[in-house]
């Protein structure tokens, strides 16, 4: 169900450099501007995928 720690970090590094990465107004949690997911959660789920196929 969960991705490995290495895979999670690999994904988050890609998101960190992505122009679609944004933050929630109040909590400043990092979210994907394409799908609206919270990146820390999305990157942790093994079967999740980037909507523009970056990971």
Angle at the Cα of 36 from the Cα atoms of 44 and 1, rounded to 5 degrees: 25
Judged by CB under 6 A, does residue 54 bind ligand SF4? Answer: yes
Q: What share of the chain is helix, strand, coil (3-state, %, to 5)?
A: 30, 15, 55
Judged by CB under 6 A, does residue 8 bind ligand SF4? Answer: no
Among 13, 24, 40, 52, binds ligand SF4 (CB under 6 A): 52
* Separation between Cα atoms, residue 31 and residue 37, nearest integer Å: 5
Judged by CB under 6 A, does residue 3 bind ligand SF4? Answer: no
The footprint of ligand SF4 (CB under 6 A) covers 14-15, 18, 20-21, 32, 34, 50-52, 54
């Amino acid at each position: 169900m969960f991705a490995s720690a290495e895979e999670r970090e690999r994904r988050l590094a890609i998101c960190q450099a992505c122009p679609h990465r944004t933050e929630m107004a109040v909590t400043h949690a990092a979210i994907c501007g394409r799908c609206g997911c919270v990146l820390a959660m999305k990157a942790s789920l093994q079967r999740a995928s980037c909507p523009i196929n970056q990971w």
